[in-house]
Structure formats: structure tokens, C-alpha cells
């Protein structure tokens, strides 16, 4: 997985709206762009992907591999910096940035969604657009406001599908509450098969159903806030979110004990943020599963050390940080039932 923001002529391939975000990257818009096309151009994503044949050679032989293609940026084809995004099968069908990132344009025109940020990772292997859903925000216990966002991403590396995820933001702490209502699965995923354009069109017709599922999400949040974390519930919850490491074959005692200590440190920090985290002292929230869940999301979003802002973004949205927060949500759903 790429760990940095793609660059165009040395500048980050990214745009954002309003105040400078924590990552401090990209071109700023005063007001949201009117279409994905504006966001795409501002983020430097107005290029296309093509498929090129694959060959191999040595000093004696030259061989074609007709069952494979290389995905490349067409505007860089033939240039020294043209590096393939990935190796794909002959039936792989690219989905261009404009086709993927304009997914929500009809809702933008109807003033149901605004585009907030867009960008790319690595050399452009993965592109994304973050959209805010307008209308009533989620108010947990009537006081803890959560804004509704959807994150759409698409890959050109042969492994990454078009995906849409819920990415609500808790306003009091700016935590990104990554979650998936199908327990770890994206709410929409379309692979790059020959019929991808037809299936993307079908998926666009399901957008209203996707938005309706925010009500289900709000119900989960209320359940979390109804659950008091008494007795051993908090330690048990954090042990599920940050499980004991599995010992690798031939791993030294020193290495294994270090991994155990790291998990214990994460649980301790989760406990501290459960008690002291931003917004967790509010009377309806204090001492609840909602506070425990948000302690984990605050830990990942604001206390996990990454070398650069670009690496932090990749970690939070597409890397281990995302997986931890999905596990925290799924575990909270299970705890809220008991």
C-alpha cells in the first residue's frame, strides 16, 4: 500500500475545502467545488489510465505475456518516470478518475452532498474523494454531534476495487469514526471486471439506500451510549480491539515481549482516553461504551505517531489505523448487545 500522497510537479495531488486540515496538504477551496471535475482538476487528478502489453527479455530471449497487461498513466507513457501501477489480467477494465470520482455528482447538484477533499496516494495507484452528507447531523444523546461523510476510493493497481465507506466525523474531537455496517465490509465495492461501468451505474442508483443507512448507524451510536462500561467490560473491550500478539515462528523472546508491551501500552492509553478523551466527560457520554469507542478512535487519529502527514492519512483511511477503527466499531456493536 502506498504510504505517501501522490505529487504533481512536486505538489501534493490533493484539494480541500475551508480551514486548513490536520494534513495541511493540497489546494484550498473557499467553498465546496460544484462538481467532481473541479475537485479532480484542483487535485491534479485529470489524467487517464491505460493498459499496455507485458514483455520480458534477457540477453538471449524475448517473450510476450498476452495474458497480462500493465496499468499506466497515459500522460506519462514513454517518459522516464512512467512506472506501472500494477500487473493485471487481460480482462481488467480501468475505471478512469473522472468516472469514479464523479459518482456523487447528481447528489451534489441536488444539494444533498458536498465535496470536501480529494487526492491520490503513491504515484496515483489509489484516488479518493470525501463527501459530506448534508441535512441533519447525528446527535448522540442529543449533545454529541457527528457529521455524516462518505469516502469513495478507486485503485489502478489491479488489487483495489471502487469502494464507498461510511466515515462520520465526531465534531468535538474531529475523530473519524470509520465503520462498516456489514461488520468489516465496505458498504459498496465494485471490482474492475469487464462490466464495471454497468455495475457502477447500478451502484449509483443505490446511493439513496446507502444514505438511509446512516439511521442504522445512529442507532448503533445510541446503543453504545446506553451501555455503561462497568466491571471488566472496559478491559475486555480494549483487549478485543488490541488483542494479544501471536508469536511468530522462531521469534525471539525480546521481540515477542516488545510486541506484548506495545499492546499493553495501547490498552492503557485507550483506558486513559476513555476517561479523559475529548468529549468523553459530558454527563450522558461519560463511562459508556460510546466513550470507550471514541477513546480508541482518538488514539488512532491523534496519538498514533506517523513520520509525515501523508503517511498519517494513508494509515488512517486505508491502512492499519482504518482496520483498528473497524475492529473497534464491530466489537462495540457486539458489546452493546450483551
Mark whether 191 and 162 lie in a shared domain: yes
Whether residue 23 is contained in a domain is answered as yes
Residue 1 in domain:
no
Confidence label for 324 from pLDDT (cuts 50, 70 and 90): very high
Domains in the chain, number: 3
**pLDDT tens by residue, 283-304:** 999 999 999 999 999 999 999 9
Q: Identify whether residues 100 and 133 lie together within a single domain.
A: yes
Q: Examine the fold and report which residue of 185, 216, 247 is the final residue of a domain before the chain moves on.
A: 216
Residue where one domain finishes, among candidates 156, 188, 216 = 216
- The answer to whether 84 touches 49, Cβ cutoff 8 Å, is no
- Banded model confidence at residue 314, pLDDT cuts 50, 70, 90: confident
Whether residue 159 sits in one domain with residue 303: no
Instruction: Give the whole-angstrom CA distance, residue 191 versus residue 198.
Output: 11
Q: Residue 74's closest CA among 124, 3, 14, 27?
A: 124
Contact 304, 313 (CB under 8 A): no
Whether residues 161 and 261 share a domain: the answer is no
Is 134 inside any structural domain? yes
Whether residues 225 and 127 fall in one domain: no
Q: What is the pLDDT of residues 2-51, one digit of tens each?
A: 455 555 444 556 788 877 665 556 678 888 899 999 999 988 899 999 99
**Cα(243)–Cα(260) distance, rounded to whole angstroms?**
9
Answer whether residue 295 is part of any domain: yes
Amino acid 174: pLDDT: 82
- Diameter of the chain by CA atoms? 76
For residue 86, the surrounding DSSP H or E stretch is: strand 86-89
Say if residue 224 is in the same domain as residue 297. Answer: yes
Whether residue 17 is found in the same domain as residue 165: yes
Task: Please report the pLDDT score of residue 23 as a whole number.
Answer: 54
Residue of higher predicted confidence among 207 and 75: 75
Does the residue 122 lie in any domain?
Answer: yes
Burial letters 199-214, b for 16+ CB under 10 A, else e: ebeebbeebeebbeeb
128 and 22 in one domain? yes
- Check whether 160 has a pLDDT greater than 50: yes
> For the CA atoms of 268, 271, 275, 276, what is the dihedral angle to 10 degrees?
40
Residue 77 lies in a domain: yes
Q: Kindly tell me if the per-residue pLDDT of 312 is higher than 90.
A: no
Res 186: pLDDT: 53
**What's the mean per-residue pLDDT of the chain?**
88
Print the domain residue range for 35: 7-46+95-216
Q: Are residues 121 and 61 in the same domain?
A: no
- Same-domain pairing of 192 and 72: no
What DSSP letter does each residue of 277-332 carry, written as one string?
A: STTTTSTTTTTBHHHHHHHHHHIIIIIS--SSHHHHHHHHHHSHHHHHHHHHHHHH
Residue 2 counted as domain residue: no
Determine contact, residues 119/2, Cβ cutoff 8 Å. Answer: no
Please write the tens of the pLDDT for every residue from 250-289. 889 999 999 999 999 999 999 999 999 999 999 999 999 9
Last residue of a domain, one of 186, 216, 246: 216
pTM exceeding the 0.95 threshold for the entire prediction? no
More confident residue, 312 or 155: 155
Same domain? 41 vs 57: no
Residue 304 falls inside a structural domain: yes
Say whether both 159 and 37 belong to one domain: yes
Amino acid at each position: 500500500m502506498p504510504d505517501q500522497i501522490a505529487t504533481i510537479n512536486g505538489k501534493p495531488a490533493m484539494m480541500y475545502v475551508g480551514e486548513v486540515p490536520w494534513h495541511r496538504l493540497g489546494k484550498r477551496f473557499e467553498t465546496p467545488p460544484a462538481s467532481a471535475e473541479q475537485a479532480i482538476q484542483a487535485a491534479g487528478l485529470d489524467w487517464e489510465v491505460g493498459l499496455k502489453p507485458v514483455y520480458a527479455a534477457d540477453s538471449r530471449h524475448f517473450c510476450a505475456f498476452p495474458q497480462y497487461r500493465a496499468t499506466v498513466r497515459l500522460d506519462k507513457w514513454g517518459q522516464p518516470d512512467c512506472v506501472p501501477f500494477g500487473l493485471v489480467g487481460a480482462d481488467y477494465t480501468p475505471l478512469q478518475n473522472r468516472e469514479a470520482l464523479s459518482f456523487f455528482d447528481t447528489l451534489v447538484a441536488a444539494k444533498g452532498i458536498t465535496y470536501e477533499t480529494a487526492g491520490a496516494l503513491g504515484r496515483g495507484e489509489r484516488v479518493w474523494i470525501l463527501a459530506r452528507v448534508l441535512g441533519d447531523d447525528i446527535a448522540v444523546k442529543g449533545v454529541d454531534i457527528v457529521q455524516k461523510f462518505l469516502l469513495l476510493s478507486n485503485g489502478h493497481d489491479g488489487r483495489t476495487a471502487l469502494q464507498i465507506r461510511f466515515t462520520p466525523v465526531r465534531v468535538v474531537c474531529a475523530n473519524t469514526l470509520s465503520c462498516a455496517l456489514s461488520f468489516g465490509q465496505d458498504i459498496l465495492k465494485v471490482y474492475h471486471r469487464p462490466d464495471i461501468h454497468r455495475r457502477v451505474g447500478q451502484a449509483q442508483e443505490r446511493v439513496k439506500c446507502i444514505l438511509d443507512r446512516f439511521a442504522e448507524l445512529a442507532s448503533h451510536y445510541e446503543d453504545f451510549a446506553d451501555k455503561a462500561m462497568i466491571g471488566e467490560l472496559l478491559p475486555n473491550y480494549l483487549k478485543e480491539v488490541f488483542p494479544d500478539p501471536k508469536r511468530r515462528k522462531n521469534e525471539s523472546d525480546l521481540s515477542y515481549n516488545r510486541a506484548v508491551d506495545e499492546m499493553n501500552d495501547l490498552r492503557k492509553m485507550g483506558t486513559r482516553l476513555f476517561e479523559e478523551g475529548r468529549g468523553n466527560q459530558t454527563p450522558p457520554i461519560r463511562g459508556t461504551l460510546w466513550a470507550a469507542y471514541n477513546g480508541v478512535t482518538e488514539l488512532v487519529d491523534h496519538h498514533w505517531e506517523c513520520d509525515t502527514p501523508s503517511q498519517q492519512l494513508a494509515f488512517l483511511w486505508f491502512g492499519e489505523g482504518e482496520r483498528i477503527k473497524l475492529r473497534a466499531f464491530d466489537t462495540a456493536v457486539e458489546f452493546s448487545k450483551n
